[in-house]
Amino acid sequence: MDLRAGQVAVVTGAASGIGLAMARRFAAEGLKVVLADVEEAALDKAAADLRAEGADVHARVVDVGVREQVLELAESAYDTYGAVHVLCNNAGVGSGAEGRMWEHEPNDWQWAFAVNVWGVFHGVQAFLPRMIKSGQPGHVVNTSSGDGGIAPLPTASVYAVTKAAVVTLTESLYAHLKAEHARVGASVLFPGPHMLRTGLWESHRNRPERYAKQRPRRTPYRSLAQWEAAMRAAGNEVAFTPVEEVADFVVAGIRADRFWLLPESEHSDAQIRARAHSMLERANPTYLESFVLD
The residues that are catalytic are 159
3-state SS class at 38: coil
Residue ranges of alpha helices (H) inside 234-284 are 243-256, 266-280
- Give residue 198's identity as a one-letter amino acid code: T
User: Do the beta carbons of residue 135 and residue 183 sit within 8 Å?
Assistant: yes
**Residue 272, burial from CB neighbour count under 10 angstroms (0-12, 13-18, 19+):** middle
Q: What b/e sequence results for 40-74 when a residue is b if at least 16 CB atoms lie within 10 Å of its CB, and e otherwise?
A: eebbeebbeebeeeebbbbbbbbbbbbbebbeebb
Crossing angle of helices 157-179 and 118-133, rounded to 10°: 20
Conformational region of residue 42, where left means phi above 0, alpha means psi within -120 to 50, and beta covers everything else: alpha
Compute CA distances 193 → 164, 238, 241, 258, whole Å.
Answer: 17, 12, 7, 17
